[in-house]
Amino acid sequence: MVTMGDLTFEIEKIISEVKARNARRILLQFPEGLLPYVTRIASLIEEQAGVEAVTSLDPCWGACDLADSEALTLRSDLLIHFGHAPWPTQTKVPALFVECFSKREIAEQAVKAALSLGLKRLILTSTVQHVKTLPLVKKALEDAGVSVTLKSDSKRAPYPGQVLGCDYSNAFSPDADTTFFIGGGLFHAVGVALFTGKRVISLDPYTGEVRDVTPNVRRLLLERYTHVAKAKDAKRFGIIIGLKSGQTHINVARSIRDALRSSGKEAYLFAMREVVPERFMNLGDVEALVVTACPRIAIEDGPRFPIPVLTPDEVEVVIGRKNWVELYPSINEKVEEEDG
């Protein structure tokens, strides 16, 4: 185990896997937050395993974004993917997932936050780097009299309480009225609220900041509503197929194309690796987009696109197969109550 910053890396697991496979060339892949460590990690592995390491510097947003075809292009014997839990997929090049866990202790901060906010019945969630601490946090909260649920219901997120940008199965519970999310940034905290419809309190273990993300989710839902409303008036749709290994959903894209065409719209299939707004500035006459690659792209990056961008589920509302309240039920009711 090697420690860098407050993170631990299982370098020994890599060395033994490289040796067991007799690998000569490996490809390393890191999410953005681990970029500061890449040269030290590559050096360690090259020296200790006698292997040639190439590091992918393309953006990497999750375990679904696996540099498998890149490893094939580079004739790597092994792909080592850092920072995400294993993704259930077949790869062309053998892949080793190396999580890296934070050593930060959170229990005390968590108890303080829960007591000061008067939280009684929580479900506890986090991202992979903090999942190891969740049982400790649960125990500390229970000792302080808080009822805590920790769930393991997801096929994609293997650790109890772990959430992914596209999978919040471990955050649903009838026994809790509040989700307590441990982690930095708003991406996952807002994701939990959007997909579960429950109130979310987030605790950033690095800054200590505690916040209720409901206002952020409300703003996001109004944005989504605007995209859907504008898309209803669009005649010509582009449907984006992702080219990343865990984001290629061709049949979903085809069925959306057919549904749109049946509703009297024009619909075109597009393929992209990185779904970035810049490519749509010159795209002539396309008036709305549907992103099938990752459901979070439309939600997080929507405002940066020059035309409305939808998730596959939102298309159902555009063509009248679902209504808005079915799509985003609980929180939407709250928005309607407050706005109505």
Our finding on whether 240 is near a second copy (CB under 8 A) is yes
CA 28 to centroid of chain Cα atoms:
20
Name the E strands within 132-198: 147-149, 178-182
Q: Using CB under 8 A, count the residues that bind a second copy.
A: 46
Per-residue x/- track, 146-165, a second copy (CB under 8 A): --------------------
Among candidate residues 238, 227, 225, the one with its CA nearest the CA of residue 287:
238
- By CB under 8 A, tell whether 251 contacts a second copy: no
Least separation, in Å, of the C-beta of 290 and a second copy? Answer: 13
Helix (H, G, I), strand (E, B) or coil at 118: coil
Of 178, 123, 129, give the one whose Cα is nearest residue 153.
123
**Binding of a second copy by 266 (CB under 8 A):** yes
Residue 248 vs 263, nearer CB to a second copy: 248
Least distance (Å) between residue 278 CB and a second copy? 8
Under rule CB under 8 A, residue 271 binds a second copy: yes
Q: Does 241 sit near a second copy (CB under 8 A)?
A: yes
**Interface with a second copy, residue 319, by CB under 8 A:** no
**Which spans in the chain are helix H?**
11-21, 38-49, 68-73, 107-117, 134-143, 187-196, 214-232, 250-262, 295-301, 312-318, 324-327, 329-339
Of 56, 103, 106, which Cα lies nearest the Cα of 82?
56
Please provide residue 77's backbone torsions phi and psi, each rounded to the nearest 5 degrees.
-85, -20
Query: Across the strands, what pairs with 201?
Result: 180, 212
Token duo for residue 121: 């019945």
Provide the terminal-to-terminal Cα distance of the chain, rounded to the nearest Å: 55
264 binds a second copy (CB under 8 A): no
Mark 35-74 with x for binding to a second copy (rule: CB under 8 A) and - for no binding: xxxxxx-xx--------xxxxxxxx-------x-xx--xx
Interface with a second copy by CB under 8 A: which range of 10-18, 29-37, 116-124, 176-184?
29-37
What is the token pair recorded at 258?
């057919």
Nearer to a second copy, 16 or 43 (CB): 43
DSSP string, 14-83: HHHHHHHHT-SEEEEE--GGGGGGHHHHHHHHHHHH--EEEEE-S---STTS--HHHHHHTT-SEEEEES
300 binds a second copy (CB under 8 A): no
Structure letter (DSSP) for residue 284: T
> Are residues 237 and 268 in contact, defined by beta-carbon separation less than 8 angstroms?
yes
Q: Does residue 273 interact with a second copy by CB under 8 A?
A: yes
- The nearest distance, CB 303 to a second copy, in angstroms, is 19
Tell which one of 13, 236, 249, 322 touches a second copy (CB under 8 A).
Answer: 236
Between residues 11 and 272, which has the closer beta carbon with respect to a second copy? 272
Q: Does 249 engage in binding with a second copy (CB under 8 A)?
A: no
243 binds a second copy (CB under 8 A): yes
- Among 20, 282, 338, 340, the residue binding a second copy under the rule CB under 8 A is 282
Is there binding between residue 309 and a second copy (CB under 8 A)?
no
Q: Which residues bind a second copy (CB under 8 A)?
A: 27, 32, 35-40, 42-43, 52-59, 67, 69-70, 73-75, 236, 240-241, 243, 248, 250, 254, 266, 268-274, 279-280, 282-286
